[in-house]
Every structure is written in structure tokens, then in C-alpha cells.
A = this chain, B = another copy of it.
Amino acid sequence: MTNHKLKVTTIGGGSSYTPELVEGFIKRYDEFPLTELWLVDIEEGREKLEIVGNLAKRMIEKAGLPIDIHLTLDRKAALKDADFVTTQFRVGLLNAREKDERIPLKYGVLGQETNGPGGLFKGLRTIPVILDICRDMEELCPDAWLINFTNPAGMVTEAVLRYSNIEKVIGLCNVPIGMEMGIAKLLDVDHSRIRIDFAGLNHMVYGLDIYVDGVSVKEEVIEKLSDPKNSSFVKNIDGMGWEPEFIQALDALTCPYHMYYYKSQEMVDKALESSKNEGTRAEIVQKLEDELFELYKDEKLNTKPPQLEERGGAYYSDAAVRLITSIYTDKRDIQPVNTKNNGAIASIPADSAVEISSIITKDGPIPLTMGDIPVAARGLVQQIKSFERVAAQAAVTGDYNTAILALAINPLTPSDTIAKEIVDEMLEAHKDYLPQFFQSETVN
């Protein structure tokens, strides 16, 4: 396969995460002989693209690999003949995230990037852009895989499946890999020996069973998770621990985001307090990013700086390169991804996106047939799927009422009236990034 072009295009290439992605490509070069990496950004992100792009070039140079790094604001040129397209952009930057986090809190509602009002508005801003990219891909690189990391990844994948002609799309999240790492630590075994049967939705995924070397250890894990002796450790995984009785009866592994639902009260309280003290997550991240870009500017730096790990999103880029490599090599290993359900989870429509353990082949992920998720978990999963579908519809149509409906049916929203108030304030706040809601006289 020498001399074969292998082109990856990363949209939102100016992100502070890019060095991790580059490191991933360097590490897996033997399996995935990348020849061109195109980092694309928009005018607003030109400076960051330059800084991080130059660091990427230095990293490649140090590794001594024949990979060309292209920095560009021309998305079409970047997409032309790409083999893989990854998306990691943030419409409205961290400034928009701060609004997603702060505004809902005024109404006593959780402010978070992928759940509740924040998730809705991030979706409303992101989905039209993704669908636009899909249209470009149809024309410029119809055989490429779209690997989307942009949150809310579940809603975005659902929107691509329902509203675009792109079928080769995978939503990717670092939550499942993080759960595997946590369980590996809890059991003190190497990560490679752990396998979890993941099933559910993005940021709403359950571990239906957990194996070490193929032998189920679910009972032992649940016992450990509910043992007060492990509580400080568990909090590290989950942020808080569950009541032992709850997790034992649930009989499935939760993901950290379940806390927003099964501990909604405590999580709102915590968010309110944080927002008053250390600031919202957006503000904290903004500071980290500023520091990171200061580091990245250093022309002597030619590796991923360790400070990047504090930024969050651990394993993200690693997960991405692992996924891309498995598609490229038809590796058929099992990875949790967001993909079309197709019968794998009985109670979710066959044409909806799910987050599920899948075999990764040359032809994409094939979800493992799971039967169904447990009765106790099924309702919440369906509720979030309803939310995702109505939200995607609002994003595509720009319909004001549909946006209110989406928020009102979200389990974190206490009432239709509050839903309306929040939507009104957030529509105004994000006006610049929501043109579909402000065309002609159709709104309000």
C-alpha cells in the first residue's frame, strides 16, 4: 500500500485538542499510514489554527513521518477526496458554552453542555452546520467516513441519519472508554482485559454486562461500586456515588452523565454553587485553553504538552484514531460508537441512532444485538431519544414551538412555562448562530 494517499480532514482543526489527535496518528502510523492531515477552521479561528497547526507540524517533524499538514479556511478544498472527516468544532466557541451553562441556572435548571437547555441549544447551533458539511461531503468525498466528536453527539448523529444523505457517519464519545478505564482501575486489571456491553444513547449509555477476559464480573463490580469503602474512588469515576440499593437493583453500569438524571437535584445545586465560586465549566475551560495556546506558541514545543490532559476529553482523540484505524484495517474489534440501531436494541426504532458496542469493520460499525435494555432503564432512554428527535427537528426547521416542545419534554425541565422562558432568553442570546429561527416574520 505504499504511495497510497490517505487523507484525513479535521473540521475545527484549530481546537486545543488537535495535538492529541496528531499524537494519535503518530502512535498508530504503522497501522494507519496517514499521508495528509487537513486542519480546517473558520475565519474566527484563524489564529488558533495557525498556532496549533504549527505545533502539529513540529510534532510530525519530530516523529519523522511523511505526513503533510495542511492549514486552511477553505472547507471545500479540505474535504475534496478525503478518506475520513472528523468534526470537533464548536459553533460560537466557549462564549456560547458559557451562555448554555449560565442562562438555565437562572431558572433553577441545569446548565450543561450536552444535557437539558444547554444540550438543546448546542444542538440547534451545531446541526445546521453538520448538515451543511454533509452536503459538501456528498459532492466532494462521497466515500469518506464522517467521524463526529462534536456534542451533543447523539443528537447530531440522529440528525445526520434522518436529515442528510450521508450514511457513513459515526458519532464518537469518550464516555464509554472512560467507563472501561474506571472499571479497569476498580478491579486493578489492565484495560485491554475489560469488555463492557454498552447499550443506550450518547451520554445515556448503560453497561449491560462487564467482562474480564470474557468472564462476566458484573455482580462483583456492582458490589464494589456499592461498597462505601470504595466511595472516594467511585466518586472519581462517577462524580458521586449511587445509593447501594439503587445500583444493585438497577443491575447495570451507569455512565457519569446519569447523575444529571438520577441525582438531578444534587447536580443543579452543585452547578449553582460552582457558577458562583469557581465559575462555570466554560469559564474554567477558557482559562485552560488560554494557557494551552500560550504553551502551543512555543516554537520549541514539539510534543503534546501534559497540561492538555487537564482540559478534559481524555481518550477522545485516542478513541478517534483507534476507530479510524479499525475501519481502515477492517480490524473487527469491538468499540462503543453512535450508529444506526438496526434492531440491536429492541425497544428503540431501527432507524434511530444509539450508542452501542459494535464490531468495527471496513464497512463501518455493526452493532452487537443486545436484545433489550433493562425495563428500569428503558423509560429514561426513550425520553432522551424523544428529546433528541424533537430537538433535531427544531434545529432543521427553525420552528419556535418545536424548540419549546423539545425543552419541555426534557426530563431536566420543570415546566412548559420555564421551558418557554429559557428558550426565549437563549434564542436571543445565541441569535447570531441560529439564523434558522430568525428568518422573515415566522418567529414569535
Contact = CB atoms under 8 A, between A and B. Distances in A.
Interface of A: 108, 211, 213-214, 242-243, 245-246, 248-250, 262-266, 330, 332-334, 341-347, 350, 359, 361-363, 366-371, 375-380, 382-387, 389-390, 399-402, 404-406, 408-409, 411, 414-420
Contacts of A264: 414-415
Contacts of A361: 214, 334
A249 B214 contact: no
A379 B375 contact: no
Contact of A382 (B330, B378, B419): B378
A362 B369 CA distance: 15
Given A343-B343, A366-B369, A378-B386, A246 B332 contact: no
Contacts of A416: 242-243, 246, 262-263
B363 A414 contact: no
Given A369-B366, A411-B411, A245 B417 contact: no
A408 B262 CA distance: 7
Given A243-B419, A245-B420, A246-B419, 6 more contacts: A214-B361, A245-B401, A249-B405, A343-B343, A379-B387, A382-B383
Nearest to A107: B265
Given A214-B361, A332-B333, A386-B375, A243 B343 contact: no
Given A249-B402, A402-B249, A420-B245, A359 B350 contact: no
A265 B405 contact: no
The number of times this chain is found in the oligomer is: 4
A386 B390 contact: no
Contact of A417 (B266, B411, B418): B266
A363 B419 CA distance: 36
Contacts of A408: 243, 246, 262
B379 A384 contact: yes
Given A243-B420, A366-B368, A366-B369, A248 B401 contact: yes
Contact of A350 (B263, B266, B371): B371
Nearest to A399: B249
Interface centre among A213, A342, A350, by most chain B C-beta atoms within 10 angstroms, is A342
A400 B350 contact: no
Contacts of A334: 332, 359, 361
Contacts of A384: 379
Contacts of A401: 245-246, 248-249
Which 7 pairs from chain A and chain B are nearest by CB?
A379-B383, A379-B386, A265-B414, A214-B362, A249-B405, A382-B382, A249-B401
Nearest to A410: B379
B380 A409 contact: yes
A402 B108 CA distance: 30
Nearest to A371: B342
A216 to B, nearest CB: 9
Contacts of A385: 379
Nearest to A380: B383
B262 A415 contact: yes
Contacts of A344: 343, 369
A369 to B, nearest CB: 4
